[in-house]
Amino acid sequence: MNAKNILFLLAAPIVLLSCGYEKSSTTGWNYNDPSNGGFQKVPFEEQETGPNLVLIEGGSFTMGRVEQDFMYDWNNVPRRVTVSSYYMDQTEISNLNWGEYLYWVKRVYGVDYPELYKKALPDTLVWREKLSYNEPYVDYYLRHPAYRDYPVVGINWLQATDYCSWRTDRVNEYILIREGILDHYVDQIGEDNFNTDAYLANQYNSGKRIEGLPNLNPNSSGYRNVKMEDGILLPKYRLPTEAEWEFAAFGLIGNSVGERVVERRLYPWNGHAVRNPDEAYIGMMLANFKRGRGDNMGVAGNLNDNADITAPVFSYWPNDYGLYNMAGNVSEWVMDVYRPLSMEDVQDFRPFRGNVYQTKEKDNEGLLLDKYDIPMYDIDGLIAYLEEFAMEAEKTMNEQESELVATLQEQAGRAKELLLDDQKYEANVIIVEESIEEIKGADEMAKIAPVLLKDYSTYISARPGELSYRQTKVEENIDRRNYKRSDNINYLDGDYKSQLDDLHWDSYEAEDDRTESSHMYVYPGEGPSNDYSSLINDHARVYKGASWNDRAYYMVPGTRRFLDERQSSAMIGFRCAMDRVGSPVGLGAAR
């Protein structure tokens, strides 16, 4: 439905009063009638399908191990769960997709905040191996047009999440342009860029083609911005949950009769073989994986999967949902925080571990704070990083470098004090206007300055133009029964102390002392020492599926692995998902 139709349908009750109004079935009052106060009921059929997305009709399935657990991880115990319907990318995100993202970030932020562009850059050095010649991939894989349809790699979990947020804004901006509400505004610079949340909060007014949609409220101006209630804007792009990814990979929608799954799949296709059984394609590999030791692609003249590393994202046969490469090519990030026994803890409806509930920040009058005009940083993460950097580089730094690191630590400490005093913006001003400028203006003998500048960029938590969010507080949830704490990553971890809502660290006390607390899973800089207590921590994220360098075992969708959210690999990519609102089967059906 285009803008003219929308404007006509919304404005028609004002002009054609004689035509009558639809009435409320509960009060009898007219909808869309300014004389009744102007409550609007807008025309809506169903959610629009976003670019590259396909609808994944949800349902019940047995999540977890379907192959023998010869790795003895015991981290995917079978359990029956239900996932709601959702959308998922037909393919992995490609180098071309990521190049579009990089171009936008550089165009909008490159002049004032080039560190945002640095944060978005994939780590091309993930291709290097100590005893392998992979420099061609370091130099060419990301940018050469020969690889533009190949999946992007070297992306950590945080970068993938940033991409999802950026894509949400670009798709919704395009929809508003398509509907004639916004113009193509190519002069977006710094905080003056389209952000969905900022637009809904009336904090983005650039590039308007028209004043807005007719406002039928007689006590307000004649026009208003699009609201979520209009059904025009799409929900947010995000990473799929582990359950969603696994459900989509199996594609059981094509393997059931009524409510009966006729064959429990090992891979995203029927049977226990990895070659195509169809007569026309018999013997051809169904996915891109490592067949055996030293065999990444087969014998010349008869390459078994026609790919030495990754393959183009539309390669091989899609599964029954129409999804490509759900077994092979690259492993894929999902939203979940890793725990070995999550299967025993999570709910059986939409299972997920990783909830950290947030709310938009408001002033004393309850009004939303202005959107950011500078980058915001993870100051706790920066402090931990600087401590680790100083410790690791202590013996190799010269005098100028040691002074630079010491200055940065002092500035980060001041920022932390302001942060504890609920002065988040002021704390970040210190980082942006003092620390970043200190690095850029460092003595020429401080050779570590470029490294620090690049590493600082990885701790940017919000971009200019985004609204301010914070974690919910316990006192805000006094009357709630479903949750109290904002951060529920550690919920039901099994350790009493890890479940307490502590704000500081104390030395470990006796097991029966319930007055002190610590976390079960420690990350560097969070505990009394800066050492890891476990590779499994609140920053360990799950990734699913096999890559071009994995054996067939990992093509089984139930297998699970994890990696720190700041680390990346030449074997890990991602694809986006989106919530489905309304009917789970599409076209407004309700069965």
Residues 6+ apart with CB under 8 A from 513: none
Asked if residue 127 has pLDDT above 90, the reply is: yes
d(CA 332, CA 555): 12
Rounded to an integer, the average pLDDT of 568-583 is 96
- Write the pLDDT tens digit of every residue in 368-384: 999 999 999 999 999 99
Asked if residue 42 has pLDDT above 70, the reply is: yes
396 φ/ψ angles, rounded to the nearest 5 degrees: -105, -15
Residue 290: the pLDDT is 93
Residue 279: the pLDDT is 84
CA angle 421, 426, 431 (to 5 degrees): 115
Residue bearing the bigger pLDDT, 311 or 37: 311
d(CA 219, CA 199): 22
What's the CATH number of domain 59-90+245-353+541-579, 3.30.70.890, 3.90.1580.10, 3.40.50.720, 3.90.226.10?
A: 3.90.1580.10
Q: Which two tokens stand for residue 587?
A: 């076209």
Place of tokens 């009052």: 29
Residue 497: the pLDDT is 43
Can you list the pairs that 550-555 forms with residues at least 24 positions away whose Cβ atoms lie under 8 Å? Answer: 550/289, 550/290, 550/328, 550/331, 551/289, 551/290, 551/292, 552/274, 552/289, 552/291, 553/67, 553/70, 553/71, 554/289, 554/331, 555/267, 555/268, 555/274, 555/287, 555/289, 555/327, 555/328
The winner for highest mean pLDDT among 210-214, 399-403, 582-586 is 399-403
Residue 534: the pLDDT is 66
Rounded to an integer, the average pLDDT of 83-109 is 97
246 in Cβ contact with 557 (< 8 Å)? yes
d(CA 176, CA 170): 10
Average pLDDT, the chain: 88
Beta-bridged to residue 111, according to DSSP, are none
- Write the pLDDT tens digit of every residue in 521-551: 555 544 444 444 567 888 999 999 999 999 9
Residue 168: the pLDDT is 98
Residue type, 277: P
As a residue count, the chain comes to: 591
Instruction: Show the DSSP H helices in 55-133 as ranges.
Output: 95-109, 114-120
At 6, is the pLDDT very low, low, confident or very high (cuts 50, 70, 90)? Answer: low
Q: How many CB atoms lie within 10 A of CB 274?
A: 19
At 302, is the pLDDT very low, low, confident or very high (cuts 50, 70, 90)? Answer: confident
Rounded to an integer, the average pLDDT of 363-368 is 92
- Write the pLDDT tens digit of every residue in 394-452: 889 999 999 999 999 999 999 999 999 989 999 999 999 999 999 999 998 899 999 99
CA 183 to chain centre: 28
Map out the domains of the chain as residue ranges: 59-90+245-353+541-579, 95-237, 376-462, 490-537
Q: How many CB atoms lie within 10 A of CB 461?
A: 15
Between helix 379-392 and helix 399-420 the angle, nearest 10°, is 160
323 in Cβ contact with 576 (< 8 Å)? no
Quote the DSSP letter at residue 561.
Answer: E
- Write the pLDDT tens digit of every residue in 313-360: 999 999 999 999 999 999 999 999 999 988 888 999 999 999 999 999
Residue 283: the pLDDT is 85
Q: Which two tokens stand for residue 426?
A: 């002021």
Rounded to an integer, the average pLDDT of 10-15 is 46
> What SS3 string covers 458-473?
CCEEECCCCCCEEECC
Asked if residue 17 has pLDDT above 50, the reply is: no
Q: Which two tokens stand for residue 364?
A: 């004393």
Rounded to an integer, the average pLDDT of 561-570 is 96
